[in-house]
Amino acid sequence: MHEFALGMGPKIFGFKKGETQYSFRLFPLGGYCKMEGEDEESDNPRAFGKAKIWQRMIIIVAGAFNNILLGLVLMCVLVVQEPVYASTTIESFHENAKSSSQGLQAGDTLASIDGYAIYTARDFSFSLATMKTDSPDIQVYRDGQLKDLGNIKFDTTTDSSGRKYIQLDFYVKPIEKNIGTVITQTFQQTYSVVRMIWASLIGLVTGQFSMNDISGPIGAAGAITEATSMGLETSFLNGLNNLIFMMMVISVNLGIFNMLPIPALDGGRFFFLLIEAVRRKPIPPKYEGVVHTVGFLILIAFMILISFKDVMRLFSGEGFSGG
């Protein structure tokens, strides 16, 4: 291995141990390993290009897998602290609840909101946060049957920035905490975060979210600081948990983003391996290397642009945790 790097962009400092250069780079998100024979021809029998195709595939996905695994561990740390878990089944309503008069009933289990499937309370919160109206189309499971209730109107409130929020007028049933539910909640809530990330990426492509909704390394650091500070206002544990949650989201986010089929990312390299598997012969490393180099330069330019926007938001006084 030629280099093991933490971060992306220009190298800040590093050291060499054995045959590997260890470096720390400017943008503190992600990292990479530069292996012999990855982007060039090599006669070294230990080179990346000399390994069998299935071995190279495992090496490529290992980084993203470890990001997801770390996310699971961090989520478990959070889940195990909760005294009880929220389900997606309605237990009771507030007095004079609007949603009750429009069709929702106690015992209904939320199935989807505006087409977004609901498996956890986190899914429910995300779907509410990304709704465009105060009358979402709701589907529920009632007596084991899927039932479409149509548009249910909720009351809304507006914060100081003018953003509208839906006011829920019902309570959900709790889920008892035990070893089984700790494990299932860890996987379910991590999966919910994965779905949120994919939905956000799709939202960027479809125009649901704008470039202003994206944060780079500076924005991520700012959001972590804000979340931690807000938690510390109540207790040290809350501040620590907010920090852990942000790190979990970033870790899972990196794992997913890194597997997108974009040149220079592991997903792009995996795509080339799939082509090799179909063609039954590899694409010449020098040509693949050019594609990844161009992709890397585009990613760095994109990261600089996003970081510049983060700095502008910082100097304008805008927060990183809000939209």
Does the pLDDT of residue 67 top 70, yes or no? yes
- The full DSSP string for 184-210 is HHHHHHHHHHHHHHHHHHHHHHHTSS-
Tell me the pLDDT tens digit for each residue of 279-299.
888 888 778 888 888 887 887
- Summarised one tens digit per residue, pLDDT across range 160-218 is 666 667 778 889 999 999 999 999 999 999 998 888 877 777 776 776 665 555 554 44
Lowest mean pLDDT among 108-117, 127-136, 255-264: 127-136
* Percentage of residues of the chain with pLDDT beyond 70: 76
Mean pLDDT of 119-138: 82
Of 80 and 151, which is predicted with more confidence? 80
Most confident of 50-54, 57-61, 121-125: 57-61
C-alpha 242/C-alpha 225 separation (Å) is 9
HSE (CB half, 13 Å, CA atoms) of 229?
A: 9
- Domain residue ranges in the chain: 52-83+178-323, 85-175
Q: Residues 138, 209: contact at Cβ < 8 Å?
A: no
Instruction: Count CB atoms within 10 A of the CB of residue 146.
Output: 11
pLDDT band at 153 (very low <50, low <70, confident <90, very high): confident
Query: Sorting pLDDT into bands at 50, 70 and 90, what band is 313?
Result: low
Is there a contact between 282 and 49 (Cβ–Cβ < 8 Å)?
Answer: yes
Q: Which residues are registered as beta bridge partners of 131?
A: none
Mean pLDDT of the chain: 79
Residue-level pLDDT at 147:
92
Is 85-175 a CATH 3.30.70.940 domain? no
The predicted-structure confidence for 217-267, as pLDDT tens digits, reads as follows 444 444 545 554 555 556 677 778 878 888 888 888 888 888 888 888 889
Q: Is pLDDT of 303 > 80?
A: no
Q: Residue 20 and residue 170: Cα distance in Å, rounded?
A: 58
pLDDT band at 25 (very low <50, low <70, confident <90, very high): confident
Pair 171, 87: CB distance under 8 Å: no
Q: What pLDDT band is residue 97 in, cutting at 50, 70 and 90?
A: confident
Q: How far apart are CA 157 and CA 154, in angstroms?
A: 10
- Give pLDDT, residue 213: 54
Q: Which of 75-89, 102-116, 225-239 has the lowest mean pLDDT?
A: 225-239
- What is the predicted pLDDT for the residue at 111? 94
Residue given tokens 């999966």 in the structure block: 191
pTM check: above 0.85: no
What pLDDT does residue 315 have?
Answer: 52
- Cα separation values, 76 from 82, 148, 165, 180, 255, Å: 10, 34, 29, 12, 18
